[in-house]
Amino acid sequence: MKETGKLNITKSLKLFEEARQVIPGGVLGARKPSDFIMGEYPIFLESGKGCRLTDVDGNEYIDFLCGYGPIILGYREEEVNNAVIQQMNNKGFCFNLSQPYQNILAEKVKEIIPSAELSVFLKTGSDATTAAIRIARAYTNRIKVMRCGYHGWHDWCIEMKGGIPEKFYEDVYGFQYNNLDELEDLMKKHGDQTAAIIMTPFGHPLHQKMQEPKPGFLEGARKLADQYGAVLIFDEVRTCFRLRMGGAQELYGVTPDLTVLGKGMANGYAISVVTGKKDVMMTAESKLFISSTFFPNSLPYIAALKTIEILERDKVLDNIWAKGGRFLEKIQAVIDKYDVGAELSGVAPMFFITFKQDEKKTRRDRRDNFYTQLIRKGFFFTPHHHAYICYRHTEEDLNKTLQAIDESLAYVQDQYVR
């Protein structure tokens, strides 16, 4: 299979060099070039519409990263944006006090999310997971936390420990998804001191295959939290409004005490939520302090209400599950054609193509070659993060993507299988 020609990303690279003069590293966090494939991916984007992105050099991509998850409908979704613009122009959004949309959205969250009785609104997933931990600690008068999954960049949970005193995370213990025995052992040691078990109810570990819960795993975590008097927190920042309207807890039938929401609920506008049982959430009334100048800004509330309206009205998740399910079946059939160690994991709305390690230790090279061919062909995946399906992906988009996956795997096989 012929190698796909390299993209022209000259302007992206120039902007990156300029950025390095004014920003540490040029680009921070998960968007830095080393988190993709250096020299192959654009670094700066110009615009987006529907399921397509255009970079500053004019290259167009069918996108499957979806802004790292918030884009559930599509980029530049006019109905959502128009609702926000109308609010901005007619009423404003940054005031001394809250606007009534807080109450309306809280009622909607209560209607949709199984665990929701009371809610607190914030801006980012990291805000919300950290607030949930603070609420759990205040409610239980305990300190220790059992965690499974990625929960943001704050001191208690980030993997990179630079600049963080050990005392800020020494009471946080990790366990592996679908390993109930590991959690049980941790609770035997620390259960009477444990404030919270926080976990992603659907397994999407960093850089690894995705996992659905094994029978009894979520139920077992629920039982252990009850046994030791800990608060069970589901981090549904990625899964709520995507796996189901009510999240993985609705899909798998296990209800936590607190739930953290974000990403897809406002189609790209910055909002997150801690919601949960009344007795736990009431701790936020008087025993702790959660506040920000920008938490009450109403534009994300308006975007969330309109996004949820569209999701329900147009049965968006039914659409995503149906076309995503067909797409994943076809991807698996393509993967089965090639002996390159590729593996497909996940479910219809969110999935990941990873590669097995081999005796020659070529896993990373095979992976990077595969994703290099895809980005050069105009399909925006990333080797380090799972993909998403959004509402604006059409069957034609998905069929084109399938062809690109086929050709890219064929190229990898030509390079590595002799």
Q: How many whole angstroms separate alpha carbon 111 and alpha carbon 99?
A: 20
Model pLDDT, residue 305: 98
Beta strands in 168-230 (DSSP E): 172-174, 194-199
Q: Which of 260, 265, 273 is nearest to 304 (CA)?
A: 265
Neighbouring residues of 3: CB distance < 8 A, sequence distance ≥ 6 = 373, 411
Residues 82 and 66 in one domain: no
The residue behind tokens 């613009």 is 85
Q: For residues 296 and 292, what is the distance between their CA atoms, to the nearest angstrom?
A: 8
The residues, any chain, with a CB within 8 Å of residue 410's CB and separated by 6 or more, are: 1, 338
Same domain, 30 and 133: no
Domain membership of residue 333 as a residue range: 10-76+316-416
- Residue 132 in contact with residue 105, Cβ under 8 Å? no
Task: State which amino acid sits at residue 58.
Answer: G
22 to 27, 38, 56, 136, 250: CA distances (angstroms): 10, 20, 19, 40, 45
Please report, in tens digits, the pLDDT of each residue of the chain (418 residues total). 789 999 999 999 999 999 999 999 999 999 999 999 999 999 999 999 999 999 999 999 999 999 999 999 999 999 999 999 999 999 999 999 999 999 999 999 999 999 999 999 999 999 999 999 999 999 999 999 999 999 999 999 999 999 999 999 999 999 999 999 999 999 999 999 999 999 999 999 888 999 999 999 999 999 999 999 999 999 999 999 999 999 999 999 999 999 999 999 999 999 999 999 999 999 999 999 999 999 999 999 999 999 999 999 999 999 999 999 999 999 999 999 999 999 999 999 999 999 999 888 999 999 999 999 999 999 999 999 999 999 999 999 999 999 999 999 999 999 987 6
- 252, 357: one domain: no
- pTM for the model stands at 0.97
Whether residue 245 sits in one domain with residue 190: yes
Q: Residue 325 has what pLDDT? A: 98
Tokens of 51: 């399921």
Residue 176 lies in a domain: yes
Same domain? 101 vs 204: yes
The pLDDT value recorded for residue 207 is: 85
- Examine residue 1 and state whether it is found in any structural domain, yes or no: no
Domain count, the chain: 2
Check if the beta carbon of residue 4 is closer than 8 Å to that of residue 377.
yes
Alpha-carbon distance 386 to 70, whole Å? 13
